[in-house]
A and B are shown apart, each in its own frame.
Chain A
């Protein structure tokens, strides 16, 4: 089965600083990759997704992610964070290679923003 690893449980950054959240995946073929954000007490919202093509993917709220096959990574970035970006972030990948409706999620990275 495929899997994703988010090595950082908790990250703290200053408002206005740049951000990079790490995601490593295990996948047998060209992966489909997703980043979700969960604000406190809310459900998950899709930030961006990678299916194929350009390895740099733009998402909502000024986020982007870069797919690097050689490193099995799909890291999420933002050049300048805002206090409203404080949330939990999840990376996800389909659970297997073969036409699968199910996703497997990483354990999440909690982002704290300090003034």
Chain B
């Protein structure tokens, strides 16, 4: 059974902290994605990676960075967390093009 796991389901951080969200997939997928989900706004793509060490900005990359050192792992980094980054963060992976994405359970991040 395919699986995407995220390091935390709930996370509470303080303004200015550096935050790491980790995502691991076991399907040998080349593509991995980080989204943020806010009520009424749907899913917005933060970053996308199509191969190890390769990344592409999504629609809302400001305040975020990513790292992909291994094929199965894709990390989202908030360099200096701010209250407007309080959100649900979803990781996904897929194979090739035009294919469905498989999602992790999400991390609900609260920044105080």
With known contacts A90-B43, A108-B42, A100–B97 Cβ distance under 8 A: yes
Measured CB to CB, the residues of A under 8 A from B are 9, 32, 34, 36, 41-46, 49, 51, 90, 94, 99-103, 105-108
B78 CB to closest chain A CB (Å) equals 20
In whole angstroms, how far apart are the Cα atoms of A78 and B87 in the complex? 31
Interface on B for A, CB 8 Å cutoff? 4, 31, 33, 40-43, 45, 48, 50, 58, 90, 92, 94, 96-106, 108
8 A–B contacts from the bound complex (CB under 8 Å): A32-B98, A43-B106, A46-B100, A51-B98, A101-B31, A101-B94, A101-B96, A107-B42
Which residues of B lie under 8 Å from residue A44 when comparing CB positions?
43, 90, 92, 101, 103
Which residues of the other chain, B, contact A108 by a CB distance below 8 angstroms?
Answer: 42
User: Across the interface, do A99 and B103 meet the contact criterion of CB distance under 8 Å?
Assistant: no
Instruction: Give the dominant DSSP class at A's interface.
Output: loop
Q: Tell me how far the C-beta of A30 lies from the nearest C-beta in chain B, rounded to whole angstroms.
A: 11
B11 to chain A, nearest CB (A): 14
**In the complex the two chains form, is A43's CB within 8 Å of B90's CB?**
yes
Query: Chain B residues with Cβ under 8 A from A36's Cβ?
Result: 103
Residue of B nearest to A103 (CB): B101
Top 5 A-B pairs, shortest CB-CB distance = A43-B103, A107-B42, A44-B103, A105-B43, A99-B97
